């Protein structure tokens, strides 16, 4: 094999305005060039404490067990389910899009008896209908997606939903993969037991880590398990000892990704959550207004429309695949199409973290005008 046949790595300078990964902040990229040290080095152990403190701020929680899972957002989802499900447990999952479907698949693989509530993609649940189902059976878990990436819809009334679940003795699992760092997520105020996210969306880091937080109530359930956690790598009874005071070796942490996450979270803290949420909303509203003018009507009603991720119905003048190809080829802009029942019907446009900038809105709308002219 001739090494010369492999050229220098030189990817095109894409403007990532899809549902993730989002643009990585330049400061995060610089942090990733920091020399690697050992995962049990005292300096790295100190950095781990800083990452945990910053994650508690972003999740708005005091939960001691707040850590980044070594893996992408789907590893966070799996950790949130496998640690609290034992074979035969009753689990209720509210499904309003693709990632609710993924929760159902994972929970069944761990032996849960899964009941599902379904809403048409693009709709959200009323807390009363969830409580009605919770009253019919003893459930161990209620799981739902806060910000459904496949549809652009925000599940509202999380506090009321969590209260209903606790009233009926169920733990609450919340997917905030698309919302964390870009719109309000208040784990303690809402009384959510287990919440997870990812590094590559509103936190403006590369894919590779999945922030997770677990309440004291959920930790008691974890400790009371009668069977071992079925996933060794994600077993929090072991992982928590590495991130806790014991610092017991479990696996080699991705050092460079933790550098990245620390810097990404530091940027969030410098901006302040309220200011960050307001920035995401202002830029989303500018995008929505521009899309309306172009006959690319946002798919979700304003009352529960996500600010980090906008879905728009396609105009008859704009072909799904050909239009996205032109955006990529002519303007280096990446957006995503729909999938499942929304394939060919919507585009998904992300303004997340560092990518949520007014100049990106202006450039995208100008490119779309060209495509539609």
Position 163 scores a pLDDT of 98
Task: Determine the Cα–Cα distance for residues 84 and 26; give it in Å rounded to an integer.
Answer: 38
Percent of the chain with pLDDT over 70: 100
Nearest to 226 by CA among 348, 124, 344, 87: 87
Burial of 294 from C-beta contacts in 10 A (0-12 / 13-18 / 19+)? middle
Q: What is the pLDDT of residues 249-279, one digit of tens each?
A: 999 999 999 999 999 999 999 999 999 999 9
Identify whether the C-beta of residue 68 lies closer than 8 Å to the C-beta of residue 212. Answer: yes
* Per-residue tokens: 266: 């530091």
Q: What is the CA radius of gyration of the chain?
A: 21
Lateral strand order in the sheet of 171-175: 65-70, 209-214, 194-196, 171-175, 141-145, 90-95, 113-118
Whether residue 122 is preceded by a cis peptide bond, meaning omega within 30 degrees of 0, is no
Q: What is the pLDDT of residues 173-222, one digit of tens each?
A: 999 999 999 999 999 999 999 999 999 999 999 999 999 999 999 999 99
* Per-residue tokens: 351: 């303004």
H/E stretch holding 114 reads strand 113-118
Nearest to 117 by CA among 176, 169, 165: 165
**Domain 15-21+273-372 has what CATH class?**
alpha beta
Rounded to the nearest integer, the mean pLDDT of the chain is 97
* Per-residue tokens: 144: 């739902």
- Work out the average pLDDT over 360-368: 98
Q: Is the pLDDT of residue 45 over 90?
A: yes
Task: Determine the Cα–Cα distance for residues 313 and 297; give it in Å rounded to an integer.
Answer: 5
Q: What is the pLDDT of residues 227-248, one digit of tens each?
A: 999 999 999 999 999 999 999 9
Identify whether the C-beta of residue 91 lies closer than 8 Å to the C-beta of residue 98. Answer: no
Q: Is the pLDDT of residue 287 over 90?
A: yes
**Pair type for strands 194-196 and 171-175:** parallel
Q: What is the pLDDT of residues 333-352, one digit of tens each?
A: 999 999 999 999 999 999 99
Position 3 scores a pLDDT of 80
* Per-residue tokens: 194: 């287990």
Q: Is the pLDDT of residue 332 over 90?
A: yes
Q: Any bridge partners for residue 88, and if so which?
A: none
In CATH terms, the fold of domain 26-269 is 3.40.640
Position 2 scores a pLDDT of 84
**Is 15-21+273-372's fold the same as 26-269's?**
no
Q: What is the pLDDT of residues 95-108, one digit of tens each?
A: 999 999 999 999 99
In degrees, to the nearest 5, what angle opens at C-alpha 52 toward C-alphas 74 and 226?
60
* Residue 347 neighbours by CB under 8 Å, 6+ apart: 296, 311, 312, 314, 320, 323, 324, 335, 336, 337, 338
Q: Is the pLDDT of residue 161 over 90?
A: yes
Position 59 scores a pLDDT of 99
DSSP letter string over 321-372? HHHHHHHHHHH-EE-EE--GGGTTTEEEEE--GGG--HHHHHHHHHHHHHHH
Position 1 scores a pLDDT of 84
**DSSP three-state, residue 300:** coil
Position 5 scores a pLDDT of 87
Position 352 scores a pLDDT of 98
Nearest to 346 by CA among 151, 139, 62: 151
H/E stretch holding 313 reads strand 309-313
* Per-residue tokens: 242: 């590495």
- Work out the average pLDDT over 45-56: 98
CA within 13 Å, CB half, 368: 25
Compute how many other C-beta atoms are within 10 angstroms of the C-beta atom of residue 255: 18
Map out the domains of the chain as residue ranges: 15-21+273-372, 26-269
């Amino acid at each position: 094999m001739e090494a010369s046949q492999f050229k220098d790595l030189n990817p095109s300078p894409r403007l990532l305005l899809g549902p993730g990964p989002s643009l990585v902040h330049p400061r995060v990229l610089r942090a990733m060039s920091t020399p690697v040290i050992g995962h049990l080095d005292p300096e790295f152990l100190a950095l781990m404490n800083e990452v945990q403190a910053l994650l508690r701020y972003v999740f708005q929680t005091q939960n001691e067990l707040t850590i980044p899972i070594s893996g992408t957002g789907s590893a966070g989802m799996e950790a949130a389910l496998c640690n609290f499900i034992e074979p035969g447990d009753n689990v209720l999952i509210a499904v309003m899009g693709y990632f609710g479907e993924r929760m159902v698949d994972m929970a069944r693989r761990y032996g849960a008896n899964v009941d599902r509530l379904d809403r048409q993609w693009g709709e959200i649940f009323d807390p009363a209908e969830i409580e009605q189902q919770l009253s019919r059976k003893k459930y161990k878990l209620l799981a739902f997606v806060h910000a459904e990436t496949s549809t652009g819809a925000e599940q509202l009334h999380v506090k009321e939903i969590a209260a209903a679940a606790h009233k009926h003795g169920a733990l609450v699992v919340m997917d905030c993969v698309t919302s964390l760092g870009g719109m309000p997520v208040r784990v303690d105020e809402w009384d959510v037991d287990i919440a997870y996210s990812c590094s590559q969306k509103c936190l403006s880091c590369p894919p590779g880590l999945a922030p997770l937080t677990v309440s004291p109530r959920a930790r008691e359930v974890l400790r009371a398990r009668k069977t071992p956690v079925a996933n060794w790598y994600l077993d929090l009874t072991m992982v928590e000892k590495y991130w806790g005071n014991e610092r017991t070796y479990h696996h080699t942490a991705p050092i460079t990704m933790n550098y990245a996450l620390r810097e990404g979270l530091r940027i969030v803290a410098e901006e302040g959550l309220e200011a960050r949420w307001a920035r995401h909303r202002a830029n989303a509203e500018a995008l929505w207004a521009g899309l309306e003018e172009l006959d690319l009507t946002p798919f979700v009603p304003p009352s529960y429309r996500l600010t980090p991720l906008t879905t728009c119905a396609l105009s008859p003048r704009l072909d799904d695949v050909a239009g996205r190809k032109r955006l990529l080829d002519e303007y280096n802009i990446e957006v995503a199409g729909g999938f499942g029942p929304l394939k060919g019907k919507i585009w998904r446009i992300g303004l997340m973290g560092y990518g949520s900038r007014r100049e990106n809105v202006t450039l995208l709308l100008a490119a779309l005008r060209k495509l539609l002219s």
